[in-house]
A = this chain, B = another copy of it.
Amino acid sequence: MSVIYNRVALIGLGLIAGSMAHAMRRAGLAGEIVGTARSAETRAIAQEIGLCDRITETAAEAVEGADLVVLCVPVGAMGAVAAEIAPHLAAGATVTDVGSVKRDVIEQVGPHLPEGVHFIPAHPLAGTEHSGPRSGFAELFDNRYTLLTPGEGTDPAATARLRALWEGCGANVEEMDADHHDLVLAVTSHTPHLIAYTMVGVADDLRRVTDSEVIKYSAAGFRDFTRIAASDPTMWRDVFLTNKDATLEILGRFTEELFALQRAIRRGDGDHLHAYFTRTRAIRRGIIEAGQDTDAPNFGRTPSKREVPGA
């Protein structure tokens, strides 16, 4: 593949920025990758592992002469970073981000950007429970979706160029309205994370079941919640504060359904429970058929029958 941007500036050097650096290098998509982070320690690690071609101390320096600037900071910090870099942006540059919420980022970042700069919000739907400059890897975006939410009047050529970058990083790219994005993500990501955090917190609080019991006997479902609930606290705090309306709406639906199932348990209504549990299996099949998860039992933690000799 050929170079799509001559100089890419990554502002913030966590899991997503690091994975973008690896993925852009894998496909030769960027002439030069410049990176910066607020923490001196993060910058030092990035320097040590050669994550970028060049590390700068400030975001203002990083964006100098960049034709693509990627904001990879927690959603709550986007506005401040945009204010800092705005005077230093090159004419014709594209500014994008990787935040998990889109409407709030648009409202925070948009007003700061000068005329002649293209602003194309983006969200790669990929991640792990790990964070920091050492956590990135080139394959993170392969066959995952990246959603772009360009506003009306955005230059189609600038959008096409950013799309090409993400496709070069391995992603499937789709465009979507920012508000719809925030609702979809409230369903597929934000509410599930809040629920997982809650369940892990309940287990931690319970006096009659010790932490050591919870840990030892976690294999039966709970450990999958703990993985989700091990994600970066700052990132998730900002997600819930900035996607408040959609999250609260989906939470309302969730508790309504949960109360209906709770009542079925209390009343001993086995038919209701069985029908509900049967219906949810179909969605799982859809996800596997769409290539968005493996069918290997237990996420491939344990060998499948086919791999067991003589089984």
**Residues of A that sit less than 8 Å from B by CB:** 22, 76, 100, 125-130, 134-140, 144-145, 147, 180, 183-185, 187-189, 191-206, 208-209, 211-231, 233-234, 236-238, 240-241, 244, 247-248, 250-251, 253-255, 257-258, 261-262, 265-266, 268, 270, 273-274, 276-284, 286-287, 290, 292-294, 297-305, 308, 311
Contacts and interface: CB of A to CB of B under 8 A. Distances in A.
Contacts of A202: 187, 191, 250, 253-254, 257
Given A187-B209, A203-B283, A230-B284, 13 more contacts: A22-B311, A126-B219, A139-B303, A147-B217, A188-B220, A197-B280, A201-B280, A231-B277, A233-B274, A233-B281, A236-B273, A237-B270, A298-B299
Nearest to A129: B297
A287 B223 contact: yes
A281 B250 CA distance: 24
Contacts of A298: 128-129, 299
A130 B301 CA distance: 13
A127 B219 CA distance: 8
Contacts of A135: 297, 305
Given A222-B189, A293-B218, A198 B233 contact: no
Given A223-B287, A284-B226, A292 B137 contact: no
A206 to B, nearest CB: 6
A115 to B, nearest CB: 33
Contacts of A234: 274
Contact of A293 (B204, B227, B237): B227
Contacts of A292: 215-216, 218-219, 223
15 contacts: A126-B220, A137-B304, A138-B311, A180-B208, A188-B203, A193-B221, A194-B265, A198-B254, A198-B257, A204-B280, A205-B257, A237-B274, A237-B277, A241-B268, A299-B301
